[in-house]
Structure 1
Amino acid sequence: MAVEAMDRRDVAQLKADVLIIGGGASGVAAAVTAARNGLSVILLERYGFCGGGAVAGLSGTVCGLYAASDGDKPPEQVVFGFAAEFVDALAARGGLTDPVRYGKTFTRVHDPLVWRETADAILAQAGVTVIYHAVATQVLLDGGEAIAGVIAWSKQGPLDIRAAITIDASGDADVVAMAGLPNFIGDQGRVQNPTMIFRLGGVDVAQFAAAYGADTIMPPSVSALIGEANASGRFKLPRAKIWLFTTTRPNELLCNCTRITGADGRELNTLFYADFTEAEIEGRRQMREYARFFAEALPGCANAFVNDSGVQVGVRQTRQVKGVSKLANGDILSGRKFADGIARSPWPIELHSGSKPRVEWLLDDVYEIPYGCFVPTRGENLLVAGRCLSAEHEAVASARVTAQCFGYGHAIGHAATLAVREGLAPRAIDGRDLRLVLNRDGARLG
């Protein structure tokens, strides 16, 4: 007996100038920018809130705003545009700390609930049509490789969404892959491991800060304690260099400390359902192990308890688009600038493999990311935004953070506007023109 796939529910037909898949930082920025330019915009998001890795993955910080330097220089903000606007809106709602020390630079810790509400408000004010709890399952192709929109799953039934321009802000280049367009995964398939970030309540923050100071990267003494705990056989803590942040909430730490690999030792790739599942289970196990260690070993944490974790593991790297341009590893540390640079970053390369993550700093400078990193080499009417940009393995370890994703979305929202209004193919848009538009819109790219 033949088995036939079936969904007899009615198909809802929707249409917009711009369709955005994914409501992370880049998706929100792109949607708001295009809508403010007068376009009709639909934003499709699989969760019931926006935020992507920052909220669902509980990364918890807005990284990439401030220059890095040696010494005791105060925070110097070097990234503006939509990133600065969103940060200001978060702060106005009480959802963001002042800058906190992060090694040679600074970051800001956000409240994930306030992040959601801030995104809701900005999207509504711009007139974006947001569809939560919906997932793109098929891409609509017109004439081979021209993207016409997507078919999406929702509780109501299938959605047939058509748009002049589609922006893949899924983080995983899902639309690119569904269309069969060129893409790649990490370093010949090897990706940075996922992590389970969690929040610890019941902390005596004053006692903790008195012991460890203002730097959120814990000192070598903590790494040594972790090593001793592992050697005793009473704990299994795979990562020794860890990040602990105070938050907007009293008596709380945000903990970035797990290192999730497979039982076979592989770096797990969340594109694969078995790896994703294993990562979630192992992440929760490590979360409890680190929390138990903190309560026993760290000042101020004797009465601490886990009060929240990511909705899912935080994902650093999966599938990326093969773009017209590709950000190279060497571009980061050389502070390279591009004539068509549409975003800038001061953030270091962070490689989280091994028990001690490696951080390579770019001091007193920024590098730029060219427009071509977001334009697929093939396929029409399609742009990408966010961490699925075209970049080498180490480069994406810097370029994927929140402030830069806001910047990518800001730029690609303007690119979509030019494409729709002028009838241009995304590859025909000159990144230098886009740079001028962004500077008029407050990006301060120089």
Structure 2
Amino acid sequence: MIIATDARTQPDLYCDIVIVGGGAAGVATAVAAARNGMKVVLVERHGFCGGGAVAGHSGTVCGLYEASDDPSSGPVQAVFGFTDEFTKALEARGGLADPVRYGKTFTRVHDPIVWRETADAFLADSNITTIYHAVATRVLNEGGERIEGVELWTKQGPLRVRAKLTVDASGDADLIAMAGLPNTIGDNGRVQNPTMIFRLMGVDVPAFLATYGDDTIMPPSVSEKIVAANKAGTYCLPRAKIWLFPTTRPGELLCNCTRIIGADGRELNPLNWRDFAEAEIEGRKQAREYARFFADTLTGCENSFLNDMAVQVGVRQTRQIDGVQTLRNADILAGQKFSGGIARSPWPIELHSGERPKVEWLLNDVYEIPYGCFVPERGEGLLAAGRCLSAEHEAVASARVTAQCFSYGQAIGHAASIAVRENLAPREINGADLRDVLNRDGARLNG
């Protein structure tokens, strides 16, 4: 019989709140909780924070501004609180570009290195212990469904982090799944495909913008060139509607254009290790092919070259928690508001599947995301934060973006602190009361 062994010692670390995942939501959760006097442990599998925004190279802070049929009037900011605080810190460090057109709204491109450094500065709080290069392997419980922390894999060996409250900010609801709590994967198991975002250097950006305009969603003329190149067989470019963003660096474009599907035609699911590996390999091939096409055919890109790819494929959707409330597709398009709304979003439903991504806009308005979307319908001592919130398939395609993940983290950091300080179950916290706390902390949820 083969027995799995690890002879290294397994020490315990104690804290008030442990957070698994150092993306926008995890960082915001940690900072909000630490400011409330909580002893926090933040666990991140990479050697830096940023999640999809940095490791996945999504590269933009989406979800800050309202959409309008007349974007020529300029950006109208709709999200504040910690989102605003972090973006201003990025900007002060030279790591955030001015707003750029994104269809009917605006977004801002960030420098991923500056993002990491900015997060490090926020996490330097003495109440926060950051553990990089660590992966949660099990949840701790004393029987039943009350979570008491997590077990980690580190290079030093296994480590148990015992906590009064645990936050799943993994993006993939990993802790929810480990605990055996109810969850949902995509649309009956079908998820939105991952993407490999890359950066193109050596671009004559003024010439590029003069030819294709200031909208980062490329015009039909570019899509038509892609379709023609595919038809001629000179390139393999599976997606025709693409996004190209000037960045904070001279001569550079951030390129969101790949469509990664499996050799069998499926939308690959990064929860499956075989799919995840296939996505990485296919993503690199596609990035190289699009870079070749741009250099050969687009004005301003004649001397361009591929200078960077994401650390990993960008993951749009995997697993959602089943929460005490669920954000519905219809809530977004109706601009739904909730008494317990703890975050607001103007971002469209943006489904990156098929040859042409689908975008459904909410104009001159925002919708709200209720607190109950982050509270598991079963299980105690556990909250979620980030894109694994309880939401329908298409709703995730709006609610997952960076500005909102910062907002979720700010809210869940406060909720976790209230639960620990007042010895409450997270489900006992009233969303309307939490909303009041967030407004006092600058969230401006009432507009």
- TM bucket normalised to smaller: over 0.9
Shift in CA distance, 126/247, structure 1 to aligned 2, threshold 3 Å:
farther
SS at match of 1:306: strand
Report the alpha carbon displacement of residue 213 of structure 1 after superposing the two structures with TM.
Answer: 1.3
Offset at residue 73 of structure 1 (A): 1.8
Query: What CA distance in whole angstroms lies between the structure 1 residues aligned with 2:21 and 2:212?
Result: 38
Task: Give the deviation of 1:127 after TM superposition.
Answer: 3.2
Instruction: Give the equivalent residue in structure 2 for 1:65.
Output: 64
What is the one-letter code of the residue matched to 1:82? Answer: F
Cα distance in 2 for partners of 1:301, 1:68 equals 30
Q: Given that residues 34 and 125 in structure 2 are in contact (C-alpha distance below 8 angstroms), is that contact kept between their aligned partners in structure 1?
A: no
Query: What amino acid is the match of 1:395?
Result: A
For 1:385, the equivalent position in structure 2 comes to 385
Q: Structure 2 CA distance, aligned partners of 1:149 and 1:125?
A: 21
Deviation at 1:65, TM superposition (A): 0.3
For 1:128 and 1:53, how far apart are their aligned partners in 2?
22
Contact 2:191 2:317 in 1 (8 A): yes
> Is residue 189 of structure 2 the alignment partner of residue 182 of structure 1?
no
Question: Superposition pairs for residues 301-320 of structure 1, below 5 Å?
Answer: 301-320=301-320
DSSP-derived class of the 1:30 partner: helix
Are residue 135 (structure 1) and residue 135 (structure 2) matched?
yes
Contact 2:27 2:49 in 1 (8 A): yes
- Give the corresponding residue for 1:3: 2
Give the conservation status (yes or no) of the 8 Å contact 2:185–2:320.
yes
Question: CA offsets per residue over residues 279-325 of structure 1, 9 Å max, x none?
Answer: 00000000011001000110010111111110000000001100000
d(CA) in 1 for partners of 2:327, 2:310: 29
Following superposition of structure 1 onto structure 2, how do residues 108-187 of structure 1 map, counting pairs within 5 Å?
A: 108-125=108-125, 127-187=127-187
Aligned partners of 1:36 and 1:126 also within 8 Å: no
Query: Cα distance, 1:128 vs. partner?
Result: 1.1
Deviation at 1:143, TM superposition (A): 2.6
Name the structure 1 match of 2:53.
54
Specify the alignment match of 1:18 in structure 2: 17
CA deviations on 1:176-216 (whole Å, 9 max, x unpaired) are: 00000000101110100000000000101111011011110
RMSD across aligned C-alpha pairs, in angstroms? Answer: 0.6
Q: Matched residues in 1 for 2:140 and 2:214: separation?
A: 51
- Describe the SS at the equivalent of 2:389: coil
User: Separation in 2 of the partners of 1:438 and 1:240?
Assistant: 41
Superposed counterparts of 1:229-240, under 5 Å: 229-240=229-240
Aligned partner of residue 28 in structure 1, secondary structure: helix
The residue identity in structure 2 corresponding to 1:30 is T
* Deviation, structure 1 residue 10: 1.1
Cα distance in 2 for partners of 1:128, 1:47 equals 17
CA contact (8 A) 1:65 1:346 kept: yes
Map of 1:242-257 to 2, 5 A cutoff?
242-257=242-257
The CA deviation string for residues 371-398 of structure 1, in whole angstroms up to 9 with x for no partner, is 0000000110000000000000000000
Residue in 2 that maps onto 1:442: 442
Structure 2 counterpart of 1:423:
423
Which secondary structure state, in structure 1, belongs to the residue aligned with residue 343 of structure 2? strand
Give me the TM-score of the superposition, normalised by structure 2. Answer: 0.99
Q: Using the TM superposition, give the Cα deviation of residue 125 of structure 1 relative to its aligned residue in structure 2, in angstroms.
A: 3.2
Distance 2:199 2:127 in 1: 34
Name the counterpart of 2:226: 226
Q: Is the Cα–Cα contact under 8 Å of residues 32 and 126 in structure 1 kept in the other structure? A: no
Counterpart residue identity of residue 425, structure 2: A
Q: Residue 12 of structure 1: CA displacement?
A: 2.0
- DSSP 3-state at the match of 2:157: coil
In structure 1, the residue matched to 2:410 is 410
Tell me the equivalent position of 2:358: 358
Distance 1:58 1:142 in 2: 39
Report the residue type matching 1:29 in the other structure: A
CA distance in 2, matches of 1:166, 1:255: 36
Q: What is the CA distance between 1:126 and its match in structure 2?
A: 5.8
Which residue identity lines up with residue 181 of structure 2 in the other structure?
L
Cα deviation 1:198-257 (Å, max 9, x = unaligned): 000010111101101111000000000001100111111010000000000000000000
Percent identity of paired positions between Structure 1 and Structure 2: 73
Task: Tell me, yes or no, if the aligned pair for 1:185 and 1:319 is still in contact at 8 Å.
Answer: yes
Contact kept? 1:241, 1:357, Cα under 8 Å: yes
**1:323 and 2:320 equivalent?**
no
Query: 2:191 aligns to what SS in structure 1?
Result: coil
What displacement does 1:273 show?
Answer: 0.3
Whether the aligned pair in 2 keeps the contact of 1:45 and 1:132 (CA below 8 Å) is yes
Unaligned runs of 5+ in 2: none
Amino acid of the structure 1 residue aligned with 2:397: A
The reply on whether 1:341 has 2:354 as its aligned counterpart is no
> Is 1:275 aligned to residue 275 of structure 2?
yes
Q: Secondary structure at the match of 1:124?
A: coil
SS in 1 for 2:123: helix
TM-score scaled by length of structure 1: 0.99
Q: Secondary structure of the residue that 1:69 maps to in structure 2? A: coil
